[in-house]
Amino acid sequence: MTRTVYSGAAVFDGARMHHDAVLVVEGSEIAGILPEAAAPEGPRVALSGGVLAPGFLDLQVNGGGGEMLHGGSGVEGIARICAAHARLGVTGLLPTLITDTADATQAVIEAGVAAAEAGVPGFLGLHLEGPHLDPKRHGAHDTALIRPMEAADLEMLCDAAVRLPVLKVTVAPEAVSLAQVSALARAGAVVSLGHSDGPAAEALRYFAAGASNVTHLFNAMSPLTHREPGLAGAALDQDVSCGLIADGVHVLPAVLRIALAAKRGRDRVFLVTDAMAVAGTDAAEFELGGRRILRRDGRLTLADGTLAGADVDMARSIRVLVKDAGLDLAEALRMATAVPASVIGESGRLGCLARGGPADFVHLDAGLRLAGVWRAGRPVALA
C-alpha cells in the first residue's frame, strides 16, 4: 500500500489544530497525524503553509456544474453535481431537491437510492427542501407547488428514509402535523424546520416532536424580535442544529457574530452553500422552474431581486467567518466538517482525519483559498 506524507501545513483533524505535524496517508485511508520529527519514510508532498483539513461536507446543494437536481436528473445528474463540488473541496454532500411535484420527488428518491447502490463518490444521501412549506416564506420556491403533507407523502418519505443512507427533509409547521414530524424522525429522517412564518412557541412544539435542525438560519423564516422570537429566535435558543449561509449576503457579518455567540460551545451551527447550477462554472445565469436566475456580484436572484440560492463555496464561507466575522479558524473549519458529520450521524468517520478513515481532505493556503483536494487519497482537479 502506497504511503504518502503531507508536510508544510498545519493539520486540523476535525477537532483541533496540529502545528509542526504531518498527515500520513496509506492508500485511500488516513494513517495518522504525527509530529514532524516522527514523520515516517515515504514519498512526501511538501506544502507551502496554510492548513490541511477534512474534506468539506455540504448538506444543502441544489446543483452544480451546470446541473440542478430535478426529477429527471438520474444517477448521472447526481454524479455530475457531486463531481462539480469535489472540485470546490466538498468531498461529501446531500444533493437537494427544492419544492417540486410528488412525481419528481419520487423520481429523485429512486435516483438517490440508485446512486447509493452505485457508490457515486461524494454522495451521502438526499435533502428534500419542500414542498411542505409556508407559502408566506417561499423564497425562490414555486408557490404553485407548495402544499400540505398528505398521507401518501408521508409514506413516500418514511420509505425513502429507510432506503437512503441519509434523508434530510425541510418542512414548515404550517404544512405538516406534529404526528407527521414524529413519524419521519422515527423512520430515521433528519427533520429540519424552514420556510416558516410561525411563532417560536410553535417551533418548540415541533422540536419536541422530532425536528432537530433549522434550514438556512434567518433566511425565509419569521425573524427574532423583542416580543416574538420567531423560528430564528427559537433556533438560537434551543439545542438544535442550524445550517448557515455565510456569504456575507444572506446573513451579514454582524448577525453571523450574534448567531455564533448564541450557539457557541454547542457545536450546533454548520455551513451550507445552498449552491445552484452555476457552482463550479462561469455561467452568468440559469433557469429554475421556467424562471431566469441572474448571477451578479456574488448573488443569485430572481428578476425581482429575491435571493435564489447562494453563489458561494465552502472556502469562501470560511474566509467570511474568519476575516469578516472574527471567528477562530478551527471553529470555522469545524462548521464545514465535523459539525455537519454529526448532523447526519457520521461523527468519527466523516468530517475528521481519523486513523483508518477515508483520506478525504483539502488544503487551504495562507489566505484560506482552496489549493488542493484529495478524495480517497487521490488528488481532485480544482474548479
Average pLDDT over residues 70-97: 98
> Do 46 and 63 sit in the same domain of this protein?
no
Model confidence over 270-307: pLDDT tens digits?
999 999 999 999 999 998 888 899 999 889 999 888 99
Model confidence over 13-69: pLDDT tens digits?
999 999 999 999 999 999 999 999 999 988 999 999 999 999 999 999 999 999 999
Evaluate whether residue 43 is within a structural domain: yes
Structural domain total, the chain: 2
> Do 116 and 190 sit in the same domain of this protein?
yes
> Do 257 and 372 sit in the same domain of this protein?
no
**Sequential DSSP letters for 216-256:** STTTTBPPP-SS--HHHHHHHHTT-EEEE--SSSSS-HHHH
Q: Any idea what the CATH number is for the domain that residue 73 is in?
A: 3.20.20.140
Q: Is the dihedral of CA 37, 40, 46, 48 positive or negative?
A: negative
pLDDT at 266: 83
Q: How far is residue 136's CA from residue 14's CA, in Å, rounded to a whole number?
A: 38
Q: How far is residue 44's CA from residue 7's CA, in Å, rounded to a whole number?
A: 7
> Do 64 and 32 sit in the same domain of this protein?
no
CA distance between the termini of the chain: 29
Give the three cell numbers for residue 380: 481532485
Average pLDDT over residues 324-353: 97
Q: At what angle do helices 151-163 and 102-118 cross, to 10 degrees?
A: 10
Identify which of 153-167, 262-276, 278-292 has the greatest average pLDDT.
153-167
The whole domain housing 248 covers 56-343
Q: Mean of the per-residue pLDDT values for the chain?
A: 96
Evaluate whether residue 257 is within a structural domain: yes
> Do 330 and 370 sit in the same domain of this protein?
no
> Do 245 and 313 sit in the same domain of this protein?
yes
Q: How far is residue 38's CA from residue 21's CA, in Å, rounded to a whole number?
A: 9
Backbone angles phi and psi of 170, in degrees to 5: -100, 125
> Do 15 and 118 sit in the same domain of this protein?
no
Average pLDDT over residues 125-152: 97
Average pLDDT over residues 343-368: 97
Contact, 57 vs 124, CB < 8 A? yes
With 80 as the cut, is the pLDDT of residue 1 above it?
A: no
**Nearest partner of 130 among 187, 65, 60, judged by Cα:** 60
> Do 318 and 367 sit in the same domain of this protein?
no
Evaluate whether residue 348 is within a structural domain: no
Average pLDDT over residues 188-215: 98
Evaluate whether residue 193 is within a structural domain: yes
With 80 as the cut, is the pLDDT of residue 379 above it?
A: yes
3-state secondary structure of 211: coil
> Do 152 and 81 sit in the same domain of this protein?
yes
If one counts every other C-beta atom within 10 angstroms of the C-beta of residue 198, the result is 21
> Do 338 and 373 sit in the same domain of this protein?
no
> Do 257 and 369 sit in the same domain of this protein?
no
274 catalytic? Reply is yes
Evaluate whether residue 243 is within a structural domain: yes
Average pLDDT over residues 368-376: 98
Higher per-residue pLDDT: 99 or 309? 99
> Do 40 and 107 sit in the same domain of this protein?
no
Residue with cell 444572506: 250
Q: How far is residue 240's CA from residue 195's CA, in Å, rounded to a whole number?
A: 16
Evaluate whether residue 202 is within a structural domain: yes
Say which of 100, 274, 311, 360 is annotated catalytic: 274
Q: How far is residue 102's CA from residue 84's CA, in Å, rounded to a whole number?
A: 27
Model pTM?
0.97
**Nearest partner of 94 among 233, 272, 322, judged by Cα:** 272
Average pLDDT over residues 194-204: 98
